[in-house]
Structure 1
């Protein structure tokens, strides 16, 4: 009796251990790499945001910059099945080029063919730059492809139609101020292709677009006509080195998201975003649910893990990263329910207010003060 119970207990323990190991490996491999954390030689930031006055913050949070109809029409143009190679994919590409060209930004493409588990596929990264001749760039980025499912109906609202619509909206409503900026840091929007795995997430089956673009820019020389103006003798001369900061948005649009700082060198910027959210709450400029007194999207706790996403090929090349991704992931992640019906637009517009203020502060934009 005793020996049988001991054996049974040991057997249960063994199964529990095996189950736990399988869970940890799956979770770590596909989602958050909390076990095999690698330390990079993180480049320190030399640029600091310039805090805005309360009046300017109030102005940026006003309806003058909101234009919800514009945001929704932008989102609707992306919110279709758009896995690489499909008609929807081509349609979204065309929309991205057209809307950024309408602002008279310089639009470029990085098109290439790569092997996938389903055969060769053609991918197209799209880059829209305000002032290509400026020395430095802050990247606002997202991935515009959607996950391929058997029914070919997945629209990926949070993943990542909303983030793409958000960075476009930021460019649209801040365009006049960005064009008047005296900063030698310009804004570049990057729409990555091929973030999603075709079969199962791995180093080879994922991040097709970002891997290609990071490698391309790391091998491309800094424009010769800009070297004397933009570089000193100690700086390297790659196109990649023009990136002052890469901001990547992903899995945004669900209610009550939580964001964490993943990298110590950009923690001061993340802390500034926390302060902006706090200030907007104090000024009663954010939409609240009836049972909440304030929003608390951005968490000051430093994360000791990281999430595999399009920033990784750039991080490995020492580009400063601000990764804004909801963790834990939205409950609709990679499900048919990740659609417009399940988005929380109050949260989306609150985040747009926070990002408008952050961009204006980071680029030292001369925002008009008005009584609103």
Structure 2
């Protein structure tokens, strides 16, 4: 890659996906109806089975579409007994039948649990990770009360609405804003910077990504990531409100809203923890290519794969990697892009549907949902294609088509839609709280 690393200790970190900047092509269908089928209960998956790495996602136009996630397997009842036959005489009771029925039921429950299809290549999930079921309406309202729209918009988003070019003063200010906010919380986030210098079409540039983890010793991680840099547009200032100031602010607001829960859990070596990744250098300096894009993600991926962890590496410790990009414009259409994370996408769709039904979102019918089950316009390249270890599911939350202000000087606060941003924060908060079982 031609990347010169000059990382100060202790500054190793993982790598995340960041959205590619090409108009999507055609992709096969995922599902054809709304509302979605009820997904399996939320929760982290058991240890993941290693699978051979597949080819990287093609960048050129006309490449083969990405395979679409198919429906989750469901049990199919067997044929009904033939009619017109005489009934068989009763058989003596078999003591083994109840035991066999119990074992069969246990197998079905295991396979229906999120991640059950990955095999049993590790220990059983601890009791603390067993799914308790969806929260009650009262619990939902109590959880959502921790969100603060004024804090999200005024304290967390607006300080990011400026140029954030890698290596420049805007980037340093944004990074300091992220670090200061996380340090102000009670959960005692463990903060690391992955700082390095890499060659670019415009000469050597210093990059610095922020990795925040509540409990680094935890055996499993739910990782949420986004990029915080902006693209250099010729002849104009680009503040990247959707790209990706809003995603950064959403992650910071989630950390604040969950602070009490995360603080109570503490750092007593929990089975599952939360990790936030703020990546530098996602944007290309010239034309998007393997070498001119995803600078921070590629560097973090290599470091994370090399760093030891009880799960094997810091990459394989991820139960799920959720990437946010291009969020904040009205009426986003977010699609499922990967079979491995489709069950989690269905969970988001179900949460959104429930919150709408309870009147807890600004959006309501006949407005279309944020999380769509119809086919996406096409695949979107992201950092997940650079992840060196297969088997980590990536949930890419990016609207397709892209917002109309994408990569234009018009990507500003004036073109954001506050109700949509607040609704996305609510859906994501419930999803994270359910996943972590807070």
TM-score (norm 1): 0.80
Counterpart residue number, 1:45: 115
Counterpart residue number, 2:121: none
Q: Secondary structure at the match of 1:301?
A: coil
Distance 2:168 2:356 in 1: 43
Larger deviation: 296-305 or 168-177? 296-305
Q: 2:404 aligns with which of 331, 349, 353?
A: 331
Counterpart residue number, 2:243: 159
Q: Secondary structure at the match of 1:124?
A: strand
Distance 1:48 1:339 in 2: 43
Q: 2:422 aligns with which of 325, 333, 349?
A: 349
Distance 2:261 2:237 in 1: 39
Structure ranking higher in helix proportion = 1
Counterpart residue number, 2:171: 89
Offset at residue 301 of structure 1 (A): 3.4
Counterpart residue number, 1:35: 63
Offset at residue 305 of structure 1 (A): 4.3
Offset at residue 26 of structure 1 (A): 7.6
- Consecutive unaligned residues of structure 1, counting only runs of 5 or more, are 1-24, 232-236, 366-372
Q: 1:118 aligns with which of 202, 208, 215?
A: 202
Offset at residue 304 of structure 1 (A): 8.6
Counterpart residue number, 1:215: 302
In 2 relative to 1, CA 55–27 (structure 1 residues): closer, same or farther, beyond 3 Å?
closer
Q: 2:394 aligns with which of 309, 321, 330?
A: 321
Whether the 8 Å contact between 1:163 and 1:252 is mirrored in structure 2 is: yes
Offset at residue 51 of structure 1 (A): 1.6
The structure having more radius of gyration, on CA atoms, is 2
In 2 relative to 1, CA 247–48 (structure 1 residues): closer, same or farther, beyond 3 Å?
farther
Distance 1:315 1:220 in 2: 13
Alignment of 1:258 onto 2:302? no
Taking CA–CA contacts closer than 8 Å with sequence separation of 6 or more, which of the two structures ends up with the larger relative contact order?
Answer: 2
Structural RMSD (CA): 2.6
Whether the 8 Å contact between 1:37 and 1:305 is mirrored in structure 2 is: yes
User: Which aligned pairs between 1:305-320 and structure 2 lie closer than 5 A?
Assistant: 305-314=378-387, 317-320=390-393
Offset at residue 136 of structure 1 (A): 1.1
Counterpart residue number, 2:46: none
Q: Secondary structure at the match of 1:349?
A: helix
Distance 1:169 1:322 in 2: 19
Distance 1:69 1:132 in 2: 27
In 2 relative to 1, CA 336–316 (structure 1 residues): closer, same or farther, beyond 3 Å?
farther
Distance 2:314 2:147 in 1: 33
In 2 relative to 1, CA 333–304 (structure 1 residues): closer, same or farther, beyond 3 Å?
closer
Counterpart residue number, 2:141: 58
In 2 relative to 1, CA 295–281 (structure 1 residues): closer, same or farther, beyond 3 Å?
farther
Whether the 8 Å contact between 1:251 and 1:329 is mirrored in structure 2 is: yes
Whether the 8 Å contact between 2:328 and 2:418 is mirrored in structure 1 is: yes
User: Which aligned pairs between 1:1-372 and structure 2 lie closer than 5 A?
Assistant: 35-37=63-65, 45-46=115-116, 50-62=133-145, 64-103=146-185, 104-151=188-235, 153-181=237-265, 184-222=271-309, 227=310, 231=311, 237-288=312-363, 292-301=365-374, 303=376, 305-314=378-387, 317-365=390-438
TM-score (norm 2): 0.68
Q: Secondary structure at the match of 2:206?
A: strand
Offset at residue 264 of structure 1 (A): 1.1
Whether the 8 Å contact between 2:242 and 2:326 is mirrored in structure 1 is: yes
Distance 1:56 1:79 in 2: 34
Q: Deviations over 1:233-287 (max 9, x none)?
A: xxxx222211111000000000000011111121111111111111111111111
Counterpart residue number, 1:12: none
